[in-house]
Amino acid sequence: METELSKKLGIEHAIFGFTPFPAVAAAISRAGGFGVLGAVRYTAPDELKRDLDWIEAHVDGKPYGLDVVMPAKKVDGVTEADVEAMIPEGHRQFVKETLAKHGVPELAEGEASGWRITGWMEQVARTQLDVAFDYPIRLLANALGSPPADVIARAHDQGVLVAALAGSARHARKHADAGIDIVVAQGYEAGGHTGEIASMVLTPEVAEAVAPLPVLAAGGIGSGEQVAAALTLGAQGVWLGSLWLTTTEAELHSPALTQKLLAAGSGDTVRSRALTGKPARQLRTVWTDAWDDPAGPGPLPMPLQGLLVAEAVSRIQKYEVEPLLGTPVGQIVGRMNSERSVQAVFDDLTRGFERAVARLDRIAGRGRS
Amino acid sequence: METELSKKLGIEHAIFGFTPFPAVAAAISRAGGFGVLGAVRYTAPDELKRDLDWIEAHVDGKPYGLDVVMPAKKVDGVTEADVEAMIPEGHRQFVKETLAKHGVPELAEGEASGWRITGWMEQVARTQLDVAFDYPIRLLANALGSPPADVIARAHDQGVLVAALAGSARHARKHADAGIDIVVAQGYEAGGHTGEIASMVLTPEVAEAVAPLPVLAAGGIGSGEQVAAALTLGAQGVWLGSLWLTTTEAELHSPALTQKLLAAGSGDTVRSRALTGKPARQLRTVWTDAWDDPAGPGPLPMPLQGLLVAEAVSRIQKYEVEPLLGTPVGQIVGRMNSERSVQAVFDDLTRGFERAVARLDRIAGRGRS
């Protein structure tokens, strides 16, 4: 599975794996793909340093990358307290009542909620980058628009390729104009923040819009057949996130959530603003239903919603309150039916890819292999 | 482009084209595909007979099929007047006000609105079938669930294959259990009634669920690359509807609508209940916005909504009131940018397919053709 981009990066398979877990990222790179560590949860530079050290020690010299969340538009001097003050009391009350209704226990005194808005603010992302640029990362991806010009320049100075996610051709062209190197075309069926255009339509549209820049297809890809389809559509590789959540290397630390993921079908996700205020695909739960209910107050815009629900989400996760327990995940969750190692998932992808190519060759009347 | 199904039907390319226009259906079959005439608008048997005669005279002996809308569940003795009586007065008022607000003229005295609910009722579909079974149709497709058992049996007696549309694997398995021969997996990005699961995920899921029954992929397919991707995903053919709307053979009879289709991008459709009461993808217009506005009364369930808006839709179409003018169409509308003959569209599909296969072969390291 060799494309111009995979050759450039020196990887065997044009399969990029996005994951918040260092062990998964390293295993993807070792398997011949390209592991990309999601950095958003690292608010402390030391923790990111520790995990990048771990990857360095376990990646067998294979290339890997980092994904940050860095807004291109800078909002100077805005603190978390400023944002907190913008949340209406009625919304706080709704969170309280919804949690109480489902018996979600309080956190212990002094216990911090996990996710904070700070991970989404530029100064934190810049601290992450200061750490990351000391490591031989080969790719820097940004999930929220193009990175600022100086970050792109710094990456290029160090020989680091820059990737950005796009949900439309227009969005992708803006990235290209900003000087990035790779566009990740994120289809409707993808987990996390995503637009309304499905991968089948989006992938070729973005590939044509930014050619000759390489495009990675994201959304709906969890088998070798789907990898082959995405490459057929003009992508130079695929970007998979959801599929790794149920690998044995993943550290979800929630058996109940893993079970929910293994049991879920492709129809059990929803594109909801419940998590961050922007539409993001995730497991449909009693919690997302409450936010999407027209009778409720509805989600606040980003970044208010994320801040509003941060503690609630921590409590739901910590106490594994099953009906409310969710996670960002794509429609491909219907195919995630067993816990397997990253290597086993990878073998499945590459074997399925070969089968799909042979099948298409037969249909096209080419060499029957 | 040869699959088991295309061999069985004796067609050169596994490309199925659904269209309400006899000239388009005949041209698709002549080009080596399989034209399927949508019968829902034929409430008069004579008109269907006339158009099938025309196809017979223009199809050069190539195979073709018919698509009806026939509910599996029978509602005995329900007349259009019964259904009319179930429509709330507030909804009628909303239609009146919305049309007045945008200056949509009234129909002339005695002028009938085009679409009537009768086309969706079983007795009308049965009349269509009585006509169609006198012609050598090779395929009977049903857009609304599996056809009734006696219809399937009658089709099989005459050597006619039966196809049904499905938006989920569960739905597809029900069709298979009912004894149909082909499942059309209709993805989220498709025009018309469609579910929430995108083609990239739905196609392989349905193919695995009903194997060894053949599956046609529908939704998001408007180029040879997309045809190749769908076949890679396990489909035995593709089912295209939107793409033919801007062919020179199409009889939209509305230059303004044709221009809207040619100008629309992939993000200019919406999955709305405005047209029939069930979610159907269509051009997003001031009309669909009015129905999807939380401040409005919202659409009624099927079949009430279709009956409620029938006259309004006729008026909007007749007078080509641009801001309200729409049609069911898929996200592939972004690729429909010029009026071309069916043959030219077909050539583009088959050439793009060959290119895509060659590209995938190169990526897979197979014979560099």
Give how far B266 is from chain A: nearest CA, Å: 7
Query: Which of A201, A267, A332 lies closest to B220 in CB terms?
Result: A201
User: How many CB atoms sit inside 10 A of residue A60's CB?
Assistant: 8
**pLDDT greater than 90 at residue B74:** no
Residue of B nearest to A353 (CA): B364
- A chain contacts of residue B207, beta-carbon cutoff 8 Å: none
**pLDDT greater than 60 at residue B327:** yes
pLDDT of residue A83: 80
Question: Where does residue A255 rank: exposed (0-12), middle (13-18), buried (19+ CB within 10 A)?
Answer: exposed
- Test the A interface: residue of B194, B200, B205 with most A CBs within 10 Å: B200
Do B161 and B138 form a contact (C-beta atoms < 8 A)?
Answer: yes
Query: Which of A187, A232, A332 lies closest to B356 in CB terms?
Result: A232
Give how far B15 is from chain A: nearest CA, Å: 12
pLDDT of residue B303: 82
**pLDDT greater than 80 at residue B368:** no
Give how far B190 is from chain A: nearest CA, Å: 10
pLDDT of residue A146: 87
User: Cβ neighbours of residue A335 under 8 Å, at least 6 residues apart?
Assistant: A222, A223, A243, A266, B201, B205
- A chain contacts of residue B363, beta-carbon cutoff 8 Å: 1-3, 14, 231
Give how far A44 is from chain B: nearest CA, Å: 38
Mean pLDDT computed over every residue of chain B: 93
Do A333 and A196 form a contact (C-beta atoms < 8 A)?
Answer: no
Least confident of B55-64, B117-126, B233-242, B245-254: B117-126
Q: Do A220 and B234 touch (CB under 8 A)?
A: no
Query: Which of A228, A266, A294 lies closest to B360 in CB terms?
Result: A228
pLDDT of residue B146: 87
Chains A–B, number of C-beta pairs less than 8 Å apart = 161
Instruction: Write down how long chain A is.
Output: 369
Q: Give me the sign of the Cα torsion angle A345, B188, B209, B301.
A: positive
User: How many CB atoms sit inside 10 A of residue B85's CB?
Assistant: 8
User: Whole-angstrom Cα distance, residue B328 to residue B335?
Assistant: 15
**pLDDT greater than 50 at residue B288:** yes
pLDDT of residue A263: 98
Question: Across-strand partners of B140?
Answer: B66, B162
Give how far A90 is from chain B: nearest CA, Å: 20
- B chain contacts of residue A198, beta-carbon cutoff 8 Å: 187-189, 198-200, 219-220, 331
User: Whole-angstrom Cα distance, residue B2 to residue B229?
Assistant: 15
Q: Do A200 and B187 touch (CB under 8 A)?
A: yes
Burial string for A64-98 (b: 16+ CB within 10 Å, else e) reads bbbbbbbbbeeeeeeeeeebeeeeeeebeebbeeb
Least confident of B63-77, B112-126, B230-244, B329-343: B112-126
Closest CA to A297 of A38, A98, A110: A98
DSSP alpha helices (H): ranges in chain A?
4-9, 22-30, 45-58, 80-84, 89-101, 122-132, 149-157, 169-178, 199-210, 224-232, 255-263, 286-292, 304-318, 342-363
pLDDT of residue A283: 98
Q: Is A228 left (phi over 0), alpha (psi -120 to 50) or beta?
A: alpha
Set out the domains of chain A in order of their start, with CATH numbers: 1-78+121-248+341-364 (3.20.20.70), 87-114+253-326 (no CATH)
Q: Do B200 and A223 touch (CB under 8 A)?
A: no
Q: Do B219 and A228 touch (CB under 8 A)?
A: no
pLDDT string in tens for chain A (369-residue length): 999 999 999 999 999 999 999 999 999 999 999 999 999 888 889 999 999 999 999 999 999 999 988 765 556 667 778 888 899 999 999 999 999 999 999 988 777 665 555 555 677 788 889 999 999 999 999 987 888 999 999 999 999 999 999 999 999 999 999 999 999 999 999 999 999 999 999 999 999 999 999 999 999 999 999 999 999 999 999 999 999 999 999 999 999 999 999 999 999 999 999 999 999 999 999 999 999 999 999 999 988 898 899 999 999 999 999 999 999 999 999 999 999 999 999 999 999 999 999 999 999 998 654
pLDDT of residue A114: 57
ipTM for the assembly? 0.95
User: How many CB atoms sit inside 10 A of residue B259's CB?
Assistant: 15
Give how far B364 is from chain A: nearest CA, Å: 5
- Test the A interface: residue of B1, B201, B202, B205 with most A CBs within 10 Å: B201
